[in-house]
Amino acid sequence: MKILRAKCREVQKGGREAFGVLVLRYQPKLARYARKFLFHGDDVADLVQDVFIKAYTNIQGFDPSRRFSPWIYRIAHNIFVNALRDSAKDRANFSLFDADVLFPHPVADEKTDDHAKREEMRRMLDAPLGSLDPKYREPLVLYYFEDLDYKTISQILQVPVSTIATRIKRGKLMLGKIIKP
């Protein structure tokens, strides 16, 4: 964590090589996120490159006292959502983020014995994710494939933690209906 913050400070001072360390660390993660969220692999490399270009040009706005991952994932989220919107122009009935009534759910701390359950859920989620609405797919991808906690996902998507809990729960229920014949 301290290494990443130091690299961010170096980049803010003009150190281009330090940005390479950030790219090496986050490129595979963001590419995986893009493939799982967007489900059209043709543009993934270009979109991830766009994320890093945007991050580099806006690095002065990053606060090195904060965590880097929510910041870069937020940039990725915005670029990926724009890509979804652009690809949806041909589909008349596509609605990216419908407003829904959300009820707060208490979020329990993750327990170590949940790791096996998460791995099993990861395997089950991989195939049918593409059929979910992006507002449910994205938190599932960030939680199960990127191993981010609810608070970090909340920062990335800029919605309350209770909304993240609700969307993950609803997404899992929808996937259950898809998976079970």
pLDDT band at 175 (very low <50, low <70, confident <90, very high): confident
Residues 123-166 pLDDT 10s: 666 667 878 888 998 998 899 888 899 999 999 999 999 999 99
Q: In this structure, what token pair is assigned to residue 79?
A: 């670029």
Could you tell me how many residues make up the chain?
181
Per-residue CA distances from 84 to 36, 37, 96, 135, 144 (Å) = 12, 9, 8, 11, 21
Q: Is the pLDDT of residue 93 over 80?
A: no
For the 2-88 domain, the top CATH level (class) is: mainly alpha
DSSP secondary structure code for residue 29 in this structure: H
Gap between the Cα atoms of 26 and 20, Å rounded: 10
Spans of all domains in the chain: 2-88, 112-179
User: Is this model's pTM higher than 0.85 or not?
Assistant: no
The yes or no reply on domain 112-179 and CATH 2.40.50.40 is no
